Amino acid sequence: MASESTTPTELHEEALRLHRAGRSAEAEAAYRKVLEQEPDRADVHGQLAVLAIEKGAFDAAEAFARKATELDPADAGCWNNLGTVKACQGDLPAAAEMWRKALAIEPDGADLHGNLGKALRGLGMDAEARIHLARSLELAPGRGSAALDLAGLLMAEGKPEEAAELLAKHAGAEPEAWIALGGLQLRRGLLPEAEAAYRLALRLAPQNARAHLALAELFLAAGAPAEAFDAAERVLYAHPEHPGAYAALGRALQALGRVEEAVDANASAANLDINNANLHHRLLALLRRDPRQSEASLAEAHVRWGRLAGASAVGLSEPAKPTDRSPDRRLKVGYLSSDFGRTPGSRVLAALLGAHDRAQVEVFGYSDLARPDDTTEALASQCDTFRNLTGLSNPQAAAAIRQDGIDVLVDMAGHLPGGRVAALALAPAPVQVAAPGYGCTHGLTAITHRLTDEAADPLGAESYGPESILRLDRPAFAYKPFEEAPEPGPLPALANRFLTFGYFGPLDRLHDGVLEAWALLLAKVSGSRLSLPALPADPRTKSMWLARLESAGLDPDRLGYRPAPESLAQHLAAYTRVDVALAEFPHPTAASICEALWMGLPVLGLERRTQAFRPGLGVLAPLGFADWMPDNAGAMAAQGVILATDAAALSRLRADLRGRLQASPLLDGPGFARALESAYRTLWVSALS
């Protein structure tokens, strides 16, 4: 403690010591005592400015920094502090001006060049920013913050290799630069290099949450969710309310098939970061696969999100109104879907888009596709206009749709990745409807109707969501098989002398209830086997899956694992080695069921939701196979026994299923298109009135 005889120099040294030790309040008091004796000390005013910046007290910081520049206008450090304050206040033009003044005094100040370069980049003055950032690195190689900004410029120019080389050379002791390098390498598919960069960041800052979560992202990409789980847990140990850590934990749990726990983790993330739309979309999409959810709880969660989205949209734009009010004119219909790529759901678009009567509708396609493929090109060619919304914000996406003059906007993606349901909250079209694809309410009042049919959503479904239900008098669905599909071939059980059940979807949908139902099925069908997709190669993750399967009662000796297919043809060929397909529950994928039926396989599953949101029955009931989708595991096992009892009948069914599907409304794309066109016209006329 300073005595009355302590000199200003001694007081200043003590203040600096306290400041370095992080004892901010004591340091501030000591600096002020120096000023009581020597009020014109520019350096002390500057140090008080730094303290105020650290506390976020930017008005006070500005006052101290300005006083320092008045007392010593020839000190570049004083102008640097004032530039930092202005940048913290969001006034980048003023910050740049201060740093230019500092550089006029100290032309070779590496930090000054770096700070000015960062400000200029923020102002969009990229060419000048590049000069100053490069000069900063020339003066002080290994200055990670300048390397980070210069790498950002290179990435914007489409030069990821140069950006990676720059960061690897100059990241130095800046953890964020190593994290950026890791992210860049991850996007380039260089997983070992990405992991090395993240681990260097953690060596510099062992508690850095961003580095741990980046590592979790890498492990998920590498098929090692067990390691991702550990990385997320390490962050939560230090930061128990970190939404990003809960989100990563949820993704890891989902990849491990622990659906209920994944839902809970994602709910925690969404509740902690209420304004993060992606967290809410991920949670809502996953809720459909949570066996604990009823129709009512599913609808409630979606409506709760819809209220938030609707409130956020207030004042951003006026709802679109019809311009040309002719009731009979050609309508502009826009399809917003996440299936404009090689997915099972793409076969619904393939059946529909080209079947539309162009005299009645002009077809627009919209999707958010980071990696378009050959299917994207094929489906886009069936649209009169196609737009990839990648890189656009939701208001920008809504503006693009509004600019196209869409009359009827049909959302088929809901809250799935690649969808843009939040853009519909801005009402960019006069008529907005939800079509089958998501299989649940979207939760938005801006979507006035949900198109469905009686099998998927029987009478009573009106209670579950804000949309009005519009039932088609045919299945609200059509399917076009992949051209690569081979003939079903003979029933494998005839040669094997046992029945083979098979599951062809992602492992992450297999919660404990599904595995236990399948264990009961195998127990009831003597000698039967179950064919599953290959387990992850990561040893820990594979071990956890094997433990889950055995814990559910599945005999390891009766399980087989198919190698991951290298092509669509290989995937489809796998059906020829299976007798009966199994669907996940409680939310099976309609297009995947059709795919199995086309390959000659009966499909068994559970549809526990009896009042609404029944995509499985939406496919099987029109074919007369509603019994294959009962509401309990015992009944499903009994159906398995019936199929296994008569191999000859099962063989005939295998030979007939493709023909029955072809003769059904499910493969009638033109019929589906006519039904939709009639529905759109009805909704359009209603909107005009």
User: Angle 110-122/92-105 helices, nearest 10 degrees?
Assistant: 160
User: What integer pLDDT is reported at residue 44 of this predicted model?
Assistant: 87
**Rounded Cα–Cα distance for residues 580 and 503 (Å):** 9
Structure tokens given for 572: 């489809």
- Alpha helices, H only, 552-614: 568-573, 590-598
- Among left, alpha and beta (phi > 0; psi -120 to 50; other), residue 410 is beta
**Rounded Cα–Cα distance for residues 145 and 111 (Å):** 9
Arithmetic mean of pLDDT, 193-214: 95
CA atoms within 13 A on the CB side of 276: 17
Q: What is the pLDDT of residues 219-241, one digit of tens each?
A: 999 999 999 999 999 999 999 99
Q: Is the pLDDT of residue 34 over 60?
A: yes
User: What integer pLDDT is reported at residue 56 of this predicted model?
Assistant: 87
**Rounded Cα–Cα distance for residues 643 and 655 (Å):** 14
| Residue 437: closest CA among 423, 460, 418 | 418
User: What integer pLDDT is reported at residue 116 of this predicted model?
Assistant: 93
**Rounded Cα–Cα distance for residues 364 and 377 (Å):** 14
Phi and psi at 524, nearest 5°, equal: -80, -30
Arithmetic mean of pLDDT, 632-655: 96
Q: What is the pTM of this model?
A: 0.87
Indicate the pLDDT class of residue 2, thresholds 50, 70 and 90.
low
Cβ(84)–Cβ(115) under 8 Å?
yes
- Per-residue H/E/C for 468-493: EEEECCCCCCCCCCCCCCCCCCCCHH
Q: Under DSSP, is residue 611 helix (H, G, I), strand (E, B) or coil?
A: coil
Bridge partners of 431, per DSSP, are: 408
Q: What is the pLDDT of residues 46-69, one digit of tens each?
A: 888 888 888 888 998 889 889 989
Q: What is the pLDDT of residues 432-469, one digit of tens each?
A: 999 988 888 999 999 999 999 999 888 888 889 999 99
User: What integer pLDDT is reported at residue 444 of this predicted model?
Assistant: 94
**Rounded Cα–Cα distance for residues 367 and 61 (Å):** 47
Q: What is the pLDDT of residues 256-285, one digit of tens each?
A: 999 999 999 999 999 999 989 899 999 999
Q: Is the pLDDT of residue 158 over 90?
A: no
User: What integer pLDDT is reported at residue 193 of this predicted model?
Assistant: 95
Element (H, E) at 460: none
Identify which has the larger pLDDT, 332 or 45: 332
- Alpha helices, H only, 190-242: 191-204, 209-221, 225-238
Q: Under DSSP, is residue 647 helix (H, G, I), strand (E, B) or coil?
A: helix
User: What integer pLDDT is reported at residue 331 of this predicted model?
Assistant: 97
- Among left, alpha and beta (phi > 0; psi -120 to 50; other), residue 261 is alpha
Pairing of strands 559-562, 361-367: unpaired
User: What integer pLDDT is reported at residue 450 of this predicted model?
Assistant: 93
User: What integer pLDDT is reported at residue 376 of this predicted model?
Assistant: 92
Q: What is the pLDDT of residues 374-387, one digit of tens each?
A: 999 999 999 999 99
User: Angle 144-156/126-139 helices, nearest 10 degrees?
Assistant: 150
Among the residue ranges 84-93, 243-252, 350-359, the one predicted with the least confidence is 84-93
**Rounded Cα–Cα distance for residues 424 and 689 (Å):** 21
Cα of first residue to Cα of last residue in the chain, in angstroms, is 82
Q: What is the pLDDT of residues 469-493, one digit of tens each?
A: 999 999 998 999 998 899 999 999 9
Arithmetic mean of pLDDT, 33-52: 88
Arithmetic mean of pLDDT, 647-672: 96
Structure tokens given for 362: 């002009």
Indicate the pLDDT class of residue 5, thresholds 50, 70 and 90.
low
Q: Under DSSP, is residue 402 helix (H, G, I), strand (E, B) or coil?
A: helix
Arithmetic mean of pLDDT, 80-103: 91
Q: How high is the mean pLDDT of the chain? A: 92
Indicate the pLDDT class of residue 3, thresholds 50, 70 and 90.
low
**Rounded Cα–Cα distance for residues 80 and 100 (Å):** 9
User: What integer pLDDT is reported at residue 439 of this predicted model?
Assistant: 85
Q: Is the pLDDT of residue 187 over 60?
A: yes
Q: Is the pLDDT of residue 4 over 60?
A: no
Sign of CA dihedral 215, 547, 254, 588: positive
Q: Is the pLDDT of residue 151 over 60?
A: yes
